[in-house]
Every structure is written in C-alpha cells, then in structure tokens.
C-alpha cells in the first residue's frame, strides 16, 4: 500500500476518532455557554444599577482571572500529567458562571460570576494540549485549525442568539442557557479520554517554569505581547464590552444585537484568511500591523458617530475585519523568534500577558465613562490603536538605527 494512503487509513482507524468528535462537540458547548450572554452583559450589569466603572470591573474580571490562573493551571497540569480533570474544572466553572448570573440580582454576584467565566477560559490552554495529544505531531496544525474553527462557530452562534433570547424570554434567560449548555458540555466531557501519548503523537506541553523567565526576555515576544494587550483592550472595550450597551441606549432593540454581532463576527473570521494570503505577502508583517491597528482605531472612533442608526452595521463590519487581521498575525509573531523547545512556554506567556488587555481595557474605559460620558469609552479604545502604531514606528526606527550603527562599526 502507498505510504500516504496507509497513513490515511491509520488515522481513520485511530482509537481516538470518537474521542476527537466528542471533544469537539464538548468544546463547542463550552464556548457557546460563555458567549451566549456576552451581547447583553454590559447592559445587564448597568440595569442592575452598576456604575460604568463597576461595569468595566465586571467585564475586566474575565481577563484578570485568565492572567492570574492560566500559567498556574498549565504548570499543575504538566506536573501531574493529567488533562481531563482540568477540562472538567473548566466546564464546571462555566456552568457555575451562567447559573450564578441567573440566580443573582446583585452586583457582587455578577462580579463573581464573570470572574468564574475567566477561570473557565483559563483552562482552555489544557483543552488544546489534550486535543493535540490525539494526533501525531505532523497533524498538530490541522488539529489546532479544527479546534479554532469550533471556537469561532461557538462565538458566532452564541453572540448571534444572545440578543434574541433576551428579547423573547428576559434578561436572565441567556444566563440560564449558558449554565445549561455548560452542563451538557460537562456531561460530554466525562466520556473524554486521556491520551497515553502513543509513539509519534505530539508531546503534551503547556508552560514550563524553567523556561519562563528566559522566554520573557525575548524582545520580539515582549513587543508583540504589548501590542496584543492593546488589541485585546480595543476588543474587550468595544464589541465584548460597551458597544451593546451604547447601541441599546442609542435606539437599537435587544433583537437587533444578533445582527450587530453577525456584522462583526463574520468579517472577523474572513480576515484570518486575508492576513496570511494577501495582506502580509503584500505589505509585510509590521506594515500589516500598522494597517490593522489604524483601521481598528478609525472604526472604533466611528462607533459614537454611528450611534443607533443603520451606520452602526457597516462600522461593525469594518471593526470586525481589521481586528480580525490583528490577532492571527500577533499570534504567529509571538513564537516566531523562539526556539522550538520553548514555543509552548512562549505561547502560554503570550496568552497570559494579553489577558491584561482583557482586564485593563474595559476597566479603564468604565472609569472614563463614569468621569465623562459613555461615548468616551470608544475614544479611549481608538486611542489604544494609535498608541500601538506609535510604538511600532518607534521600535522600527530604533531597529534601523541599530542596523546603521553596526554597519558603521
């Protein structure tokens, strides 16, 4: 039998085939449970009586808990060489988050519930390691592509459905739905099996403590991580933050939020294709980052201009597309200059650092809102994009000066 055909047959007969399907389905329910209430989260906390600064704190607690928990979870998982318990922990935290939101009408309960969602999201690093362990090392990229697609689909379905659910069944309905969806994921995760890491499969790896400090000294990783903090700050201040609350105040209805999310998420997904096949080959990585940050800043500044009119939809299309260009490019650059043996550590470090943007963006924007007015959250977020462009220009200038000095010597 031809070697390639033989390999295909071996994969098809893999004992992990059912586990792969079960894992993907469980992962879909996991992310669906976390995103189904995202479109109404900021207006809901505001409806409970939360000031803008507290709304920002609730939104930001998701990123803060990822920053605090992501690396320790990876380290402990590596230490005990177990993945499934952490997958189930993530499911339980997601379930607790949804049901706590549904059962409480207090601001403190909302803060704890959102923090639990952050703990759940922090376990995702172990999800990806376990899923990769079902595949041979040469199939790792395909495996990551599959699981990334599941995440995007879950986010799209959840954010599209959330607004309609509120319009039909009330504010608490998306939270009940989130808890129930996570419960389904938890039941499915019981049947997920640990991989024995058979010969030829990718070695499970998250964050190695011994490599952590050396990796954090890598200049490109640090620069890209700072840019990712700013990019996540924009994202979690706008579409995952105050945009839904603002457009509802400006005249849209809860049922309009679904279409608003579609306008953002579909271009966001499409952009991931353009960045690798068109934008980077044409402009290069750093110029592509400047273009993406500039587009993100412009469309963020336009959100208050669009208000509750039909213009908010093309603005979200532009915002979704340019932010969609940013994240895969930053992700790839984060491990570009790191040795192969330290790539997992670099990725874990990068993911932990950019969580600062998930927290700091909405929290600081909430304070700005309270001191001035709600539209200024978007002026703040747009400014983050301009700051990123400024940093890139300064870094490239210093790099050119360093090269010039070396040539003189």
Q: What pLDDT is attached to residue 329?
A: 86
CA 99 to chain centre: 22
Per-residue pLDDT tens digits of the chain, which is 409 residues long: 444 444 433 443 344 577 788 889 999 999 999 999 988 898 899 989 989 889 999 999 999 999 888 888 877 887 787 888 999 999 999 999 999 999 988 999 999 999 999 999 998 888 887 887 787 766 665 666 677 778 888 988 988 888 788 888 888 999 999 999 999 999 998 888 776 543 344 444 555 556 666 666 778 888 999 999 999 999 999 998 899 889 888 888 877 888 898 899 889 888 877 777 788 888 888 999 999 999 999 999 999 998 878 899 999 999 999 998 888 888 878 767 666 556 666 777 788 888 899 999 999 999 988 888 888 999 999 999 999 999 999 998 887 766 655 544 4
For residue 330, what are its two tokens? 């930053």
Q: Hey, is 136 helix, strand or coil?
A: strand
What is the per-residue pLDDT for 207?
A: 57
Half-sphere exposure of 226 (CA within 13 A, CB side): 13
Computed from CA positions of residues 329, 340, 209, 80, in that sequence, does the dihedral angle turn out positive or negative?
A: positive
The confidence score (pLDDT) of residue 13 equals: 39
Give the Cα separation of 109 and 102 in Å (integer): 10
pLDDT value of residue 198: 37
In this prediction, residue 401 carries a pLDDT of: 67
pLDDT of 5 reads: 43
Rounded to whole angstroms, how far apart are CA atoms 181 and 313?
Answer: 29
For residue 109, what are the contacts with CB-CB under 8 A and spacing of at least 6? 100, 101, 103
- Structure confidence at residue 6 (pLDDT): 43
Structure tokens at 195: 């991989």
**pLDDT score, position 140:** 62
For residues 370 and 110, what is the distance between their CA atoms, to the nearest angstrom? 19
By the 8 A CB rule, do 174 and 37 touch? yes
For residue 162, which of 175, 181, 152, 149 has the smallest C-alpha distance? 175
Helix (H, G, I), strand (E, B) or coil at 120: helix
DSSP letter for 338, please: S
Measured between alpha carbons, how far is 307 from 138 in angstroms, rounded to an integer? Answer: 49
Question: Which pLDDT score is estimated for 399?
Answer: 74
């Amino acid at each position: 039998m031809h070697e390639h055909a033989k390999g295909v047959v071996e994969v098809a007969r893999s004992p992990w085939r059912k586990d792969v399907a079960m894992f993907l389905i469980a992962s879909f329910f996991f992310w669906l449970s976390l995103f189904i209430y995202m479109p109404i989260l900021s207006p809901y906390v505001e409806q409970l009586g939360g000031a803008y600064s507290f709304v920002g704190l609730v939104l930001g607690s998701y990123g803060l808990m990822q920053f605090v928990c992501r690396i320790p979870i990876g380290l402990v998982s590596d230490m005990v060489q177990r993945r499934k318990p952490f997958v189930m922990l993530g499911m339980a935290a997601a379930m607790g988050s949804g049901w706590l939101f549904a059962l409480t009408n207090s601001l403190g309960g909302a803060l704890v519930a959102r923090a639990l969602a952050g703990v759940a999201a922090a376990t995702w690093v172990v999800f990806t390691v376990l899923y990769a362990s079902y595949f041979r090392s040469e199939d790792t990229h395909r495996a990551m592509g599959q699981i990334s697609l599941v995440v995007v689909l879950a986010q799209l379905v959840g954010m599209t459905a959330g607004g309609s659910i509120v319009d039909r069944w009330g504010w608490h309905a998306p939270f009940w739905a989130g808890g129930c969806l996570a419960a389904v994921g938890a039941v499915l995760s019981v049947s997920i099996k640990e991989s024995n890491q058979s010969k030829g499969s990718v070695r499970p790896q998250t964050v190695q403590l011994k490599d952590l400090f050396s990796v954090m000294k890598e200049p490109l990783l640090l620069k890209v991580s700072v840019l990712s903090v700013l990019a996540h700050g924009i994202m979690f201040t706008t579409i995952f933050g105050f945009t839904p609350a603002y457009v509802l105040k400006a005249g849209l209805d809860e049922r309009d939020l679904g279409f608003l999310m579609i306008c953002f998420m579909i271009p966001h997904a499409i952009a991931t294709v353009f960045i690798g096949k068109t934008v980077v080959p044409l402009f290069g990585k750093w110029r592509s980052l400047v273009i993406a940050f500039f587009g993100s800043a412009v469309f963020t500044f336009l959100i208050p201009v669009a208000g509750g009119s039909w213009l908010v939809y093309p603005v979200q299309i532009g915002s979704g597309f340019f932010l969609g260009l940013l994240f895969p490019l930053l992700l790839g650059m984060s491990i570009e200059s790191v040795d192969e043996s330290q790539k997992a550590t670099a990725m874990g470090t990068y993911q932990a650092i950019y969580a600062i943007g998930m927290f700091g963006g909405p929290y600081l924007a909430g304070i700005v809102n309270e001191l001035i007015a709600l539209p200024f959250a978007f002026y703040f977020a747009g400014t983050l994009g301009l700051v990123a462009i400024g940093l890139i220009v300064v870094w490239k200038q210093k790099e050119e000066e360093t090269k010039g000095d070396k040539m003189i010597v």
